[in-house]
Amino acid sequence: MSYYDIDAILTDAEKVPCKFELDIPELGYLDNNPSQPLKSGTTIGLPLWLAELLALANRAPSSADEDAKSFVSLNMPASLSSEVMSALKADPRAVPLRDQSHNFYGLGTRMLDLFEEKEMCAILRRTFVTRAADIALHAGKAGATDDMGVGAGEEFLRGLEEWERKLFKKSHDGAKGTKEWMEGVKKH
């Protein structure tokens, strides 16, 4: 992952629900309540880069008998909720992943780094592989026939998230190169 990878930066900006573990003064405006301090137990969506740091950093225990606690506790974002997972389990092709998150798999890998979720990993893998076959099929056809049309291709592309769009572009480039050569072979 490159430092300048725009998708990684956008993935870092994805909001993740975090539950605050302590009262914080002057931060009430985050919860639309500027006059009050931010109560502990409030759940607020924070960008992933911030949430990760706050969840992993330990604050000093206030008394000797208390364990070191983190500032916030992380939860799974809505795009990786159990509803989405069971929908993906049922039929990976039917879910428009882009509606869940633009960087669905990127967010997925980041969350898998933080949580130990073997089942989610298996589901994401299966989803990716199953949808990849579909992507290759569409990528090979896109722009090839007139009856396929731009409309159908766009409709399909709309459901793809960033990784899948990259994959679509790659396989489309390959198919296009071959097709161009095949059409050009007669001219030489």
Partner 1 sequence: MALSLPSGLVPTEVAFLCEMEMITIVPRQRLESIPMLSGKTPALRPPRRADLPLWLALLLKKQRRANIVPPPWLLPASLQEIVHTETNIDPEAFSPPPPAPMRSDGRGVARPYATAGSGNGERELILAPPFLPSCTQDAPSGYLPYHWLEIAETLLAHAADDIPNAPEVRALLRDLQEVRAAKMRASTRHLEGGGGVLNIRGVGAMELAESRGFVLGVVDGVRKLGASVEAGRREEELERGADGDGSDDDMEL
Which parts of this chain interact with partner 1 (CB under 8 A)? 2, 105, 108-109, 112-113, 116, 118, 121, 124-126, 128-130, 132-133, 135-137, 139-140, 163, 166-167, 170-171, 173-175, 177-178, 180-182, 185-186
Q: 48: buried, middle or exposed (CB in 10 Å: 19+, 13-18, 0-12)?
A: buried
In the complex, minimum distance from the CB of residue 171 to partner 1, in angstroms, rounded to a whole number: 4
Q: How far apart are CA 132 and CA 118, in angstroms?
A: 21
In the complex, minimum distance from the CB of residue 61 to partner 1, in angstroms, rounded to a whole number: 28
Q: Whose Cβ is closer to partner 1: residue 85's or residue 112's? A: 112
Q: Whose Cβ is closer to partner 1: residue 77's or residue 108's? A: 108
Say which amino acid occupies 62. S
In the complex, minimum distance from the CB of residue 163 to partner 1, in angstroms, rounded to a whole number: 6
Question: Phi, psi at residue 81, to the nearest 5°?
Answer: -65, 170
Q: Which residue pairs from 116-119 have beta carbons closer than 8 angstroms and sit at least 24 positions apart in sequence? A: 119/85
The total of other beta-carbon atoms located within 10 Å of residue 185's CB is 8
In the complex, minimum distance from the CB of residue 49 to partner 1, in angstroms, rounded to a whole number: 18
Containing 175, the helix (H) or strand (E) segment is: helix 162-184
Q: Whose Cβ is closer to partner 1: residue 79's or residue 171's? A: 171
Q: Whose Cβ is closer to partner 1: residue 140's or residue 143's? A: 140
Q: Whose Cβ is closer to partner 1: residue 94's or residue 182's? A: 182
Q: How far apart are the first and last CA of the chain?
A: 42
Q: How far apart are CA 61 and CA 112, in angstroms?
A: 28
In the complex, minimum distance from the CB of residue 129 to partner 1, in angstroms, rounded to a whole number: 5
